[in-house]
Amino acid sequence: MSGQPVQPVRLPRLEPPLPGPPASSDAVLAVDHVARWFGNVVAVNDISFGLGPGVTGLLGPNGAGKSTLLHLLAGLLQPSAGNVWVAGQRAWGNPQVYRRIGLVPEREGVHDYLTGHEFVLLNARLQALPDVEAAVGRALATVDLVTDSRRQIGTYSKGMRQRIKLAGALVHDPPILLLDEPFNGMDPRQRLHMMDLLRAMAAAGRTILFSSHILEEVERLADSVLVIYAGRLAAWGDFRSIRRLMTDRPHTFTLRSSDDRRLAAALLAEPSVFGAELTDGLLSVRTSDFGAFTRAVPRIAKTETISLFEVRPSDDSLESVFSYLVRR
Amino acid sequence: MPIVGVTLRGLLGRRRTLLMLLLVALPVLIGLLIRLSDSRIGVDRVLDTMLVQTVLPLVALVLGTAALGSELEDGTAVYLMIKPVPRWRIVGAKMLVSAGLTVVLVVPSTVLAGLLAGGVGPASLGTTFGYAVAVAAGGSAYACAFVGLSAFTSRALVLGLGYTMIWEGVLAGLLEGTRFLSVRQATLGIARGLSGQPVREGTLELGLAVAIVAIAVGAAFALGSIRLTRFEIRSAD
């Protein structure tokens, strides 16, 4: 990771960076010019934003600084510069903020020798809840782990471990949820269940921030998004605007067909296509309009009676998407 | 207190418990052999060598470093730290459990080994009683020191072993001044003080030995709490 200078992309519906302490702001989570470095490695570099209720996705490639930012918000890391505010209180060195935060860490192990029920009970007791058993029952039911709750966590699958961690984070009914890669290890059914759950919790007024390096996860769940790249905030705001920006960027496609030369000539006549190259039997086409191009290809192939064997975007990795956002 | 319960469960894992039981059984076995062989080895020598110098620091080291250090290492401590609980309470609970378990394991071993090796004569009983109280105090000091140390470094086990083997085992015998920084010397001071044995040259007096144990416990608690209050998680990126 480096501290290369990058400019964030400003999108139509933006939360403005906070100018100062959140006393004057309604943001539930507020990050004010925060930086964090480890030795000479800059993990988070001068980031500011404010978040209110709803689901926000923290999107970025591996190593972008997502976990560092979540740990700063959770008071588990001290900012090297700037301030982090949770519900108007400083996050660092203030255990009382944990009454309002539920955190699901990505990597941390769970007490394998405890049963699921005992783990959630431990969390409830540490929160000094008045009726711990009722709270534990609710949390286990929420994550659909009641029937397996008497088994030791050591026997759980990765998806079940994620869910028991979430139950532990939910047991005190916090208004703020911080989730680090919460869908890791979950099967598709569990993933959908968790997404429904998080949506429902956001609809009930909670502020949920979850990290992911998978665009589709964020797309399906988040109302708004923070895109982090190389420790900098590359873009933030409404997810659809960012998605459009990502989709409308110049794309390169690789095609294989029964007649690549003729297909290239026909495609070059399309206004959305601004370049085509035929090298080593592979046709590469550059387009400025993802949607128009993907509609044009089958139409042209049909008109020209060319059989398409493969149409593949060749630069659709998240790295390329993020570096494009940063360059803009 | 929930932290006490979960720490106790964590420390009483099958393999660790077995190892600890084997360790504390060793002095009892030696005592039994002395009794059966009719040997004339003094009870204080047996308890000094087997308990104070060997078993006590090892048991306290394993339990003290596992109570907090292992949880910091595998990340389970995070679930305690993201709760509205002052960090000194976490350190206090860890110290209470590791010191308590050390005492529960080592004191019966001391009493049994002392009775087997020395019999039930008044002098032997006095020595055994003195050592039993001393290992309880010394074990608590060791365990608390190792809990505190593991708040600072993930290499607490190695450093603790270095302290007991090199500092206390070698340097304390060569350099007189180092005995004031030795839990072993404080333990021996308490044992000899309570046994009514004449104070040997180089042995700490009872009052001073008790003060050293108290300072070790207090300092470990204070420094461990301060360190854990400023604890930062290792970030994934």
Domain ranges of chain B: 2-229
Q: Is A182 on the interface with B (CB under 8 A)?
A: no
Average the pLDDT over B110-114 and give the result.
95
Which pLDDT tens digit goes with each residue over B196-235? 776 666 788 899 999 999 999 999 999 999 999 999 987 6
B237: Cβ–Cβ under 8 A, 6 or more apart, which residues?
A: A1, A43, A62, A63, A64, A65, A66, A67, A68
Out of B10, B78, B84, closest to residue A95 by CB: B84
Report the residue of chain A nearest B82, measured CA to CA: A98
Least confident of A151-165, A284-298, B16-30, B92-106: A284-298
Q: Do B235 and A99 touch (CB under 8 A)?
A: no
Report the residue of chain B nearest A65, measured CA to CA: B237
Indicate the DSSP class of residue B177: G
A158 pLDDT band (50/70/90 cuts)? confident
Average model confidence (pLDDT) for chain A? 85
Q: CB pairs below 8 Å between A and B: how many?
A: 88
Reported as type and span, the H/E element at residue A35 is: strand A29-38
Partners of A63 on chain B (C-beta within 8 Å) are 237
- Please tell me the distance in Å from B235's CA to the nearest CA on chain A: 6
Report the residue of chain B nearest A68, measured CA to CA: B235
Q: Do A65 and B75 touch (CB under 8 A)?
A: no
Domains along the sequence of chain A with CATH:
9-100+174-245 (3.40.50.300), 249-327 (3.30.70.100)
Specify the pLDDT at position A234.
85
Q: Do B83 and A93 touch (CB under 8 A)?
A: no
d(CA B166, CA B20): 22
Which pLDDT tens digit goes with each residue over A17-43? 433 334 335 679 999 999 999 988 899
A5 pLDDT band (50/70/90 cuts)? very low
How far is C-alpha A250 from the geometric centre of its chain's CA atoms?
Answer: 23
d(CA B204, CA B185): 7
Q: Do B233 and A71 touch (CB under 8 A)?
A: yes
Q: Do B235 and A63 touch (CB under 8 A)?
A: no
Three-state SS for B1?
coil
Q: Do B84 and A96 touch (CB under 8 A)?
A: yes
d(CA A173, CA A138): 10
- Please tell me the distance in Å from B91's CA to the nearest CA on chain A: 14
d(CA A107, CA A194): 18
**If you write DSSP's letter for every residue of B131-173 in order, what string do you get?**
HHHHHHHHHHHHHHHHHHHHHH-TTHHHHHHHIIIIIIIIIHH
- Please tell me the distance in Å from B114's CA to the nearest CA on chain A: 36
Report the residue of chain B nearest A180, measured CA to CA: B236
> Could you report the predicted ipTM of this complex, rounded to two decimals?
0.88
Out of B78, B83, B230, closest to residue A108 by CB: B78
- Please tell me the distance in Å from B227's CA to the nearest CA on chain A: 12
Which pLDDT tens digit goes with each residue over A90-126? 999 999 999 999 999 987 689 999 999 999 999 999 9
Q: Do B86 and A95 touch (CB under 8 A)?
A: yes
Residue pair A115/A121 in contact by the 8 Å Cβ criterion: no
| Mutation for testing the B interface, residue in A78, A108, A232 having most B CBs under 10 Å | A108
Q: Do B84 and A113 touch (CB under 8 A)?
A: no
Q: Do B79 and A95 touch (CB under 8 A)?
A: no
Average the pLDDT over A302-311 and give the result.
91
CA atoms within 13 A on the CB side of A82: 25
